[in-house]
Chain A
Amino acid sequence: MSGSLQSPLTSRHRALGLTDYEYELIVELLERDPGDVELAMLSLMWSEHCAYKHSRKLLRRLPTRGPHVLMGPGENAGAVDVGDGLAVAFKVESHNHPSAVEPFQGAATGVGGILRDVFAVGARPIAVLDSLRFGEPEGSERSRYLLEHAVAGIGHYGNSIGVPTVGGEIYFESSYEQNCLVNAMCLGLAPRERLIRAAAAGPGNVLVLLGALTGRDGIGGASVLASAELGDGDEAKRPSVQIGDPFTEKKLLECCLELLDRGLLTSLQDLGAAGLTSAASEMASKGGVGIDIDVARVPLRERGMAPFEIMISESQERMLCVVEPERVGDVIGVCDHWEVLATPIGSITADDRLRVLSRGTVVADLPVGILVDDCPLYDLEPIQPAIAIYPAPDAVLTGEESPAQTLLALIGSANLASRRPVFEQYDPIVQSRTVRRPEEADAAVLALPDGSAIAVSIDGNGRRVAGDPRRGAAEAVYECVANLACVGAEPLGLTNCLNFGNPEKPHVAWQLTEAVTGLAEACEALGIPVVGGNVSLYNEAPAGPIFPTPVVGIVGKLPDAARAGRLGFLRDGDAIALVGSFEPSLACSELAKLLGRAPAGELPFTDPQAARKAHQAVREGVRAGALHSAHDIADGGLAVALAECCIAGGIGATVEVSETLELFAEAPGRAFVVSGPEEALAAFDVIGRVGGSELEIAGQLKIAVSELEQAHREGLAGVV
């Protein structure tokens, strides 16, 4: 290592991931050299993962206000008003790098972390969705290994803790071969008045640590794993991956909700990346107070842990709360009932400093501001790449196939095949709210006590963003809203996870800038506020960056759970119609991929007004009960959408469309296939009729639904 030639001081900060410039800034701000504990804390708080130093300026472009927003970005999770005195809190977060190193625990703790974010604001987690990306399963043992173990890890945590996994998406692309993506989204439900913020308050109040013992796991995870590229020697990083314990989290969850129900807490915060350091400094910063922590009081799992290790440990299943002194006894009583460890470890102070003590000795004494606010924010230097960044995939089709053969190949391809082998490993029904299970509708639907329901979908297509970052990112928003429309839901708020490569590289900076602009434009156009999210950068291997992958999760509301839409054709004799204006192209499509074409080319323009109108027509038709099925036309184009409606309904269809409409061309988020009684579809472009046991597109293809169903069912079955 070149460090031997450096002075001990510089090698110290570089080893922790800080640049020389950042270190000099710290010395300037402190007017002294930081101590070891202080430097460890600062290196994490100033990491990309905690400080968003390459993305924060860009994220200001996203609209955050809306009539239903109760909590916006900056809290543990955003929250929207869903009526009847209830709030839904939700957030999506990545656990990409840990999952690439150890997929089972990486994915499991990704779920555990996002659950804590949601119950940290006082909401009971009621649903999990996952957005996953892996390399091509065909021919890559690594990709199959990552897929199998990440799915098992998600199931292990979600199933064991009693939170249903209700939806998600998976794409396979070779750019994710080294850097798989594991994004987990959680929704929670709370009486509006139980929502709680993380701001610490009340000098003299007691800081109580709840939950698991603190060990050496995950030390430096935020900087080592989340903020640098993966490469050789990843196995040596395995000790940096945390180990999940859903049983402890289940007790912690029930305990925290009871503490909040009894009004015993002043504030609550989960411990995630950078552990106590991040939790305490965020709480102090938001409350404008200081915090003293005595690390000697933190219950440890291992002997001999140094103060810096205790301060940055990423041991899972821990929460930090602020309690008025006279209520500490009651808090410990509730924790005893749930067999949750509760330990007073410090206090709130009137100044603005985070002080760490160890047996009476001050080992760190930093202004809260330097930890939370003073990390330099970098401007990106975006340059549109002159040449294609991503190689063309291997061709699976020649282009000489018949439309029927092409449809079978598409519907059985890894990206479009049935996800049943995956979602059968998740419990989607615990808590008894699930109105639409996976593959029944375009969005998950969860009933609320008053008979209404919320709907949620998570979407993002990296290949399309790779070809056209601005329109591709916007499409994710349109598609997600379209999915909600198919069950009759209107969007209330959006969360996003931005998965990109190294932002210090100009072409990645360009992708990121364009994509955020596209997201912002789509959110503005559709009137959807962004209530929170997460950024995961440095998803890059020696072969290059991942496809730029913004993932959006949107929560919506529908008035009548009993009228939630379905995707499958329902009734023999129903008319089938197209809704929405629709000028799809093959650029970046699934078919283009199977033909071996690299993601390139401008994506079709989305007219926001036309898209809104189509969304509204479908939403209202579903809500009125006029439509028996509704499905958005997305990956694989019209032919695949029709096939999916036939497979889900177990019934055939006969349609006739203009020969100029390419069957497999894509323009997601703005057009739909719907079915229903002829008179209900009068306002739409009727193209055919439900019935029989075959899908027939006049003059182009005719194929048995059973054959489609088999290809769809078996596509992933051999992989998972």
Chain B
Amino acid sequence: MKFGIVRFPGSCDEIDALQAAERVGDAVLLWHADHDLRGVDAVIVPGGFSYGDYLRAGAIARFAPVMDQVAQFARDGGLVLGICNGFQVLCEAGLLPGALLTNVSLKFVFRQVALDVAVADTAFTGACALGERISIPVKHTTGRFYAPDAELDRLEHAGQVLLRYAPGNNPNGSVRDIAGVCNQERNVFGLMPHPEHAVDALTGSTDGLKIFESMRASVERPGLLSGASSPAS
């Protein structure tokens, strides 16, 4: 199992994601200007401030050469995880529904938050139990998930809302407390909380490890879960 972690100039959490992924498998960095994904089994678009994010967060990164490959990989059914800035990038790239807006507070917020697992039979949450409450930190300025009501109804009905902020834990004003959503095919997932910062009891909780373990299980035992298939090769 090999994870590829995309590194844009301005990425900040790519090494954290690399080290987290290495706890469950192999992991390599993928440079923004590269045109191939080096045979990875899953892609992580990490947190940070790609290209400085002086424009709308993620708006430039979606045009990086490597993102063409990531989009093709996703279309072929490969697993793609976007964390924080990565979530923003995947929304900008049209790989995920909705958009991320500035926090209601208009300020950066760092906080350890409780999340409820809303859908557990996916490639990203398979190691969690339905309704399980997990503790993972958030840190962002642009993390307020938004989509029109009809779209939200559709997402919820289709089981695409995988993680919600537990009651009282919504740090940014996201609609319906949505912390993470996947695409219709359930092979692309974005979330604002940082699972890579919750993989070691020494530095916090270990609940984030479940996201990476879920991905490994899905890749190593394809077909076990609905919607997650190996990339066509």
The residues of A with any CB-CB pair to B shorter than 8 Å are: 152, 155-156, 159-162, 245-248, 250-251, 338-339, 423-435, 447, 561-562
Contacts and interface: CB of A to CB of B under 8 A. Distances in A.
B86 to A, nearest CB: 14
15 contacts: A247-B52, A248-B52, A250-B9, A250-B10, A424-B108, A425-B108, A426-B108, A427-B139, A429-B194, A429-B203, A430-B197, A432-B203, A434-B203, A435-B202, A561-B202
Nearest to B107: A425
A434 B19 CA distance: 15
B63 to A, nearest CB: 15
Contacts of A435: 202-203
A126 to B, nearest CB: 12
A425 B13 CA distance: 17
Contact of B137 (A250, A429, A562): A429
A718 B196 CA distance: 33
A424 B109 CA distance: 5
Contacts of B197: 429-430, 432
Interface in B37-77: 48-49, 51-54
A271 to B, nearest CB: 20
B9 A251 contact: yes
A161 B13 CA distance: 10
Given A247-B52, A247-B54, A426 B9 contact: no
Interface in B90-128: 107-111
B52 A246 contact: yes
Contacts of B223: none
A423 B137 CA distance: 14
B166 interface: no
Most chain B beta carbons < 10 A, residue from A161, A247, A427: A427
Nearest to B9: A251
A471 B82 CA distance: 53
A168 to B, nearest CB: 14
A423 B110 contact: yes
Contacts, number: 82
B110 A429 contact: yes
Given A427-B110, A430-B13, A431-B16, A247 B139 contact: no
B12 interface: yes
Contacts of B19: 432
B131 interface: no
A427 B13 CA distance: 11
A247 B202 contact: no
Given A435-B202, A435-B203, A447-B203, A430 B16 contact: yes
A247 B50 CA distance: 8
Given A339-B9, A425-B107, A159 B139 contact: yes
Contacts of A433: 203
Given A160-B53, A162-B48, 18 more contacts: A159-B108, A162-B11, A162-B13, A245-B52, A247-B49, A247-B51, A251-B9, A339-B9, A424-B108, A424-B110, A425-B107, A426-B108, A430-B13, A430-B139, A432-B16, A432-B197, A432-B203, A447-B202
Interface SS of A by simple majority: mixed
B5 to A, nearest CB: 13
Interface of B: 9-13, 15-16, 19, 48-49, 51-54, 107-111, 137, 139, 194, 196-197, 200, 202-204
Contacts of A562: 202
B202 A162 contact: no
Contacts of B203: 429, 432-435, 447
Nearest to B106: A152
B110 A425 contact: yes
Nearest to A562: B202
Contacts of B109: 424-425
A434 B13 CA distance: 14
Nearest to B196: A432
A434 B139 CA distance: 14
A428 B194 CA distance: 13
Nearest to B47: A430
Contacts of A251: 9-10
Contacts of A425: 107-110
A247 B9 contact: yes
Contacts of A561: 202
A161 B11 CA distance: 8
Contacts of A161: 12
A247 B10 contact: yes
Most chain B beta carbons < 10 A, residue from A156, A245, A250, A251: A250
A152 B107 CA distance: 8
Closest 5 CB pairs of A and B: A247-B52, A162-B12, A160-B49, A427-B139, A432-B16
Nearest to B139: A427
A251 B110 CA distance: 24
Given A447-B203, A561-B202, A426 B110 contact: yes
A156 B107 CA distance: 10
Contacts of B12: 159-162, 250, 430
Most chain A beta carbons < 10 A, residue from B51, B54, B111, B139: B139
B119 to A, nearest CB: 27
